[in-house]
């Protein structure tokens, strides 16, 4: 597609006027890089993609669209010498393959496949492919890769009458964090010079070997779990090489790793780890990551004035989350991580803005599902009678599900106001339980003055342990406050005359910075007074000002604003 060109979307819906009645009709009308978006329903047709690169997607998400070609003799989806992307589709075939590609680029995400006698997915003749979070449930073979390279990640292959995955004719795909189970013959069969890399996979309940290697092949198996197999966990035939690193075997035929007389694989003994995750279970623990969005958010954070220590700590949290996701995708254990934080410091130091960015970072990194940013205070959480507070707090927590619950002036919850029951304490006690029960679904950020937040954390024995850390927001310096004023002015298309910035800096240098100092709020309030001073000056001049006069703020305007 040419730079700047618009992607064309073709809607498929048998009942909607103006839409294409069948997927085949839409494909016939599609041009290069078109998106075929399918309305919910079952479509009894076989799809052929041979002319243009195309994306075929369920318009309303996974499980809503079924393409069923089981009564015919052709593959449900065929692609030749093109780029094909399939998303969130349920695909069914009879004796033919479900998806068959030759000399093509295939990308499948979130699809479910089943077949009768044919293989679910057949990739051949120097094709490239990426399978992510797909499920094959019932077929002769789950995946057949011939003379092609690609990646399988977070997929499940189950109830196969013969082999789960076949790798042959020099194919060298990477199969990572996937599950292969209930196979009539072998879990993975590698032959004719195959060289796959198989990492953190869970292979079980096979009628023969978990992984069988023959015909001069050299696979690499890393941190896989192979169990409940009638044959050995891994078998190497004559002339084969390869590596088996830190794999675990359970309830297999003996020897668990069978090596023929002149086979020369390298075997590295496993290191037992009860916390390790294998197969699709490990891949599904986290959400997909958006690297581009992550970088945009970090750039947005860096663009904020000052807050160097805050930025450094948010970067450190981001790095930890990123590495944890990499470890998880590699099948390595990941410790429990709390995303709840304390933001301590004086008002106007960017706590709310940083909290928003942090929440979006958690979503972009896959640590949270992605949801609302909900800002609340004591009045949003505390009710008027016993039991009302727990209800209000739970409702606020639910509204923030997937995102951030930002509690401003959280220390007020630990104070008693007037006579009667202390319902603020009830809110804290409710939060403690919700934060633990739903720590992977909501990030709670409690903000307030540094000293008062220490008292807040003492209000419940388990409260402090729910928060990962406290991030201190310091006062802005006079120089930083000048930059904030300049940005506010620039955003409203005002220009500061020569000497104005120096006068503003001198003014902020004289103000006492106690806990009531408003920081950026003081900068905004000052500029509001500056605008009023400029408006009064221009209005009293007796003539209509020109464009430059309307935009320019003078030193005299600054002095009037400061004196007022």
What was the pLDDT predicted at 336? 67
In the three-class reduction of DSSP (H, G, I as helix; E, B as strand; rest coil), residue 168 is classed as strand
What was the pLDDT predicted at 172? 95
Per the CB < 8 A criterion, the answer to whether 408 and 372 are in contact is: no
Q: What is the pLDDT of residues 105-146, one digit of tens each?
A: 999 999 999 999 889 999 999 999 999 999 999 999 999 999
What was the pLDDT predicted at 417? 46
What was the pLDDT predicted at 270? 61
Q: How far apart are CA 443 and CA 446, in angstroms?
A: 10
Q: What is the pLDDT of residues 521-537, one digit of tens each?
A: 888 889 899 989 888 88
What was the pLDDT predicted at 418? 43
What was the pLDDT predicted at 3? 44
Tokens of 10: 């073709």
Per the CB < 8 A criterion, the answer to whether 98 and 76 are in contact is: yes
Q: What residue spans in the chain does CATH classification 2.160.20.10 cover?
A: 1-140
What was the pLDDT predicted at 32? 85
> CATH class for domain 291-473?
alpha beta
Q: How far apart are CA 476 and CA 485, in angstroms?
A: 12
CATH of the structural domain 478-563, one choice from 3.30.1330.60, 1.10.3720.10, 1.10.8.60, 2.40.30.170: 1.10.8.60
Starting at the edge strand found earlier in the chain, the sheet holding 174-176 runs 9-12, 34-38, 54-58, 83-87, 105-109, 128-132, 149-153, 174-176, 197-199, 220-222, 243-245, 266-268
Tokens of 181: 């189970």
Please compute Rg for the chain using Cα positions: 31
Helical (H) or strand (E) element with 425: helix 423-437
Q: Does domain 1-140 have CATH number 3.40.50.2000?
A: no
What was the pLDDT predicted at 365? 85
Q: Which residues pair with 223 in a beta bridge?
A: none
Helical (H) or strand (E) element with 102: strand 99-102
What was the pLDDT predicted at 422? 64
- Smallest CA-to-CA distance from 449 within 520, 307, 310, 346 is with 346
What was the pLDDT predicted at 276? 61
In the three-class reduction of DSSP (H, G, I as helix; E, B as strand; rest coil), residue 27 is classed as helix
Long-range pairs of 265-270 with CB within 8 A, sequence gap ≥ 24: 265/213, 265/236, 265/240, 265/241, 266/242, 267/243, 268/243, 268/244, 270/246
Q: How far apart are CA 435 and CA 126, in angstroms?
A: 50
Q: What is the pLDDT of residues 257-295, one digit of tens each?
A: 999 999 999 998 765 555 566 777 655 555 567 788 888
Q: What residue spans in the chain does CATH classification 1.10.8.60 cover?
A: 478-563
Q: What is the pLDDT of residues 387-439, one digit of tens each?
A: 788 888 888 888 888 889 999 888 888 765 444 446 778 888 888 888 888 87
Tokens of 98: 């479900």
Residue ranges in the chain modelled with pLDDT below 70: 1-6, 270-277, 281-288, 329-336, 415-422, 514-516
Whether the pTM exceeds 0.85: the reply is no
Q: What residue spans in the chain does CATH classification 3.40.50.300 cover?
A: 291-473
């Amino acid at each position: 597609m040419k730079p700047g060109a618009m992607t064309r979307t073709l809607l498929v819906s048998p009942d909607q006027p103006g839409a294409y009645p069948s997927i085949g009709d839409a494909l016939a009308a599609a041009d290069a890089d078109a998106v075929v978006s399918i309305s919910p329903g079952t479509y009894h047709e076989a799809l052929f993609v041979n002319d243009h690169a195309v994306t075929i997607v369920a318009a309303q998400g996974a499980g809503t669209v079924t393409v069923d070609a089981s009564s015919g003799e052709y593959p449900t989806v065929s692609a030749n010498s093109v780029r094909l992307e399939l998303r969130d589709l349920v695909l069914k075939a009879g004796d033919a393959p479900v998806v068959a590609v030759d000399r093509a680029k295939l990308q499948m995400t979130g699809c479910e496949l089943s077949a009768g006698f044919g293989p679910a997915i057949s990739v051949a003749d120097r094709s490239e492919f990426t399978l992510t979070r797909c499920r094959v449930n019932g077929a002769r073979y789950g995946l057949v890769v011939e003379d092609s390279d690609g990646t399988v990640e977070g997929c499940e292959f189950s109830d196969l009458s013969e082999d789960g995955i076949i790798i042959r004719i020099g194919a060298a795909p990477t199969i990572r964090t996937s599950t292969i189970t209930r196979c009539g013959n072998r879990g993975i069969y590698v032959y004719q010079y195959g060289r796959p890399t198989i990492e953190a996979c869970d292979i079980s309940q096979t009628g023969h070997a978990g992984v069988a290697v023959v015909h001069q092949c050299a696979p690499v198996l890393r941190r896989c779990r192979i169990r409940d197999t009638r044959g050995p966990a891994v078998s190497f035939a004559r002339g084969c090489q390869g590596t088996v690193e830190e794999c675990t075997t359970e309830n297999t035929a003996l020897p668990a790793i069978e090596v023929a007389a002149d086979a020369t694989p390298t075997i590295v003994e496993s290191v037992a780890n009860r916390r390790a995750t294998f197969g699709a279970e490990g891949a599904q623990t986290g959400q997909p990551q958006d690297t581009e969005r992550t970088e945009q958010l970090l750039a947005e954070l860096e663009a904020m004035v000052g807050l160097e220590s805050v930025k450094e700590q948010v970067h450190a949290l981001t790095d930890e989350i990123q590495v944890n996701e990499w470890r998880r995708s590699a099948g390595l254990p990941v410790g429990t991580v709390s995303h709840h934080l304390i933001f301590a410091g004086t008002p106007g130091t960017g706590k709310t803005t940083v909290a928003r960015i942090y929440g979006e970072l958690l979503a972009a990194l896959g640590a949270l599902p992605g949801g609302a940013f909900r800002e609340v205070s004591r009045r949003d959480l505390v009710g008027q009678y016993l039991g009302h507070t727990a209800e209000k707090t739970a409702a606020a927590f639910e509204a923030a599900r997937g995102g951030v619950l930002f509690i401003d002036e959280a220390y007020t919850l630990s104070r008693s106001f007037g006579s009667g029951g202390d319902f603020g304490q009830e809110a804290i006690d409710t939060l403690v339980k919700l934060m633990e029960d739903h720590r992977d679904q909501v990030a709670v950020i409690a903000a307030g003055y540094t000293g008062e937040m220490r008292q807040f954390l003492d209000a419940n024995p388990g409260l402090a342990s729910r928060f990962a850390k406290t991030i201190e927001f310091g006062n802005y310096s006079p120089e930083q406050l000048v930059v904030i004023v300049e940005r506010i002015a620039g955003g409203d298309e005002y220009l500061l005359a020569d000497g104005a910035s120096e006068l503003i800096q001198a003014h902020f240098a004289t103000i006492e910075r106690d806990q009531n100092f408003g920081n950026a709020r003081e900068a905004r309030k000052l500029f509001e007074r500056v605008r009023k001073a400029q408006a009064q000056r221009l209005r009293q001049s007796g003539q209509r000002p020109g464009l430059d006069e309307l935009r320019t703020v003078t030193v005299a305007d600054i002095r009037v604003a400061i004196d007022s």
